[in-house]
Every structure is written in C-alpha cells, then in structure tokens.
A and B are shown apart, each in its own frame.
Chain A
Amino acid sequence: QSVLTQPPSVSGAPGQRVTISCTGSSSNIGAGYDVHWYQQLPGTAPKLLIYGNSNRPSGVPDRFSGSKSGTSASLAITGLQAEDEADYYCQSYDSRLSGLFGGGTKLTVL
C-alpha cells in the first residue's frame, strides 16, 4: 500500500468532470511539499500534467487542473475525452521516505 493513497479507478462519460484524489500525511503533502501529477498512456512513458500543485507545463490543456489542501491533493479533468483514458499518478516528497508516487488511478472513459 502506497504512502500516497489514490483510488484504484475512476470513470466518467465524455464531456463530464472527474477528480482523482491523492491522500498523504503530515510528513509529505501536509508538510507543504509540492504535489505533481502524471498521465501514462498504455505502453508509453509518463507525461507530466501538473507540477508544483497547480501549474501546467506548456502544452497541457487547461482541462487539467490541480489543487492541494491539508494532507491531500486532487487532479480535476473537465470536458472528459476518450483520449484521457490512462493511468494517473500523484507524486510528492516525504521527509522520511524521499520521493513518493501514489499507487496510480486508472481512468476509464465510458
């Protein structure tokens, strides 16, 4: 079980909004360390979607947004598209464990 907890799966219909949660603790997210989010399509390297809690790299659509509060963070995807079907991972730093990834969430577009 990962120190950063994500739901194993989420789903939504095209056009809908979905959120993926990432729950940590006082030694990582709650300590103020940044949260980053990645999208991994099957058979490909992960892609950075959100860095520093809420910043989008160049080229990432504004349909993707990130937020952080307390010991948790969330990734929101609006206007869901078939191409968004992928695995999503959160990541942070932990004062005891150094770099951490969440266990990953599989997004299914219905």
Chain B
Amino acid sequence: QVQLQESGPGLVKPSETLSLTCAVSGYSISSDYYWGWIRQPPGKGLEWIGSIYHSGSTYYNPSLKSRVTISVDTSKNHFSLKLSSVTAADTAVYYCARGTHGSVVSAEVWGKGTTVTVSS
C-alpha cells in the first residue's frame, strides 16, 4: 500500500530555509494525484501549505506563497517543501500527503509527520 515518510532537520534557525522531503513508496508519483504539504502548529489546527502534480503544476496557500516552493523528483519518487525566511510562527508538525483523485487540496494518505522547531 502507499506509504509516505517525511524527513528533514528538526531544528531550523530564524531567517533560514526549512527543507523537507517526502519519500513515497508503494505508488509512483508519476502516475496520478496531487501531492501536498500540511502543517499543524503546537496546540492549533491544520493549515494547508500547497500541493504539486507530477507534471510540476503547483498550488500554494496565498499566505505562504511568497516563501514556499514545492517540487517533485519523479526519478526518486519523492517531493519536497522549501519554506524560506522562517520565524517561530513556522514551528509546527509538517505532514506530507497524497490527495484523492482529482483533488488539489484533499489528503487521503498521510505521512506520520515531522516536527520542525524554529529557534536560534
């Protein structure tokens, strides 16, 4: 079955760039679906960050768009998130997910999440 696994630094300094990768197993990213990132600050609700199709087509949350880049590497069957100029407000659990068929924003299969703390 499809499995997703986030990886990346758990601690990022303010003003630096947060970089995470989501490795996909059990399904080829090149086949179909949108692949997205969602985050959850401590004790708060979910926030949709953005998503990407294997063709490279992307959708971003307008509130983060100026700082976010989502990319896909079909040869490695993974996709990535870069968030620049981070502040403490970017501290959160970051999830990667695969959408439902035809949906840009939904998330049917989730990774377990990775905690990223922004602190000096």
Contacts and interface: CB of A to CB of B under 8 A. Distances in A.
Dominant SS at the A interface? Answer: strand
A101 B10 CA distance: 25
Contacts, number: 73
Interface residues on A, range: 20 to 34
Interface string B14-50: 0000000000000000000000101000000111101
B105 A99 contact: yes
Interface residues on B, range: 20 to 34
Dominant SS at the B interface? Answer: loop
Interface string A52-74: 10000100000000000000000
Interface of A: 2, 34, 36, 38, 40, 45-48, 51-52, 57, 89, 91-93, 96-104
Interface of B: 36, 38, 45-48, 50-51, 59-63, 95, 100, 103-108, 110-113
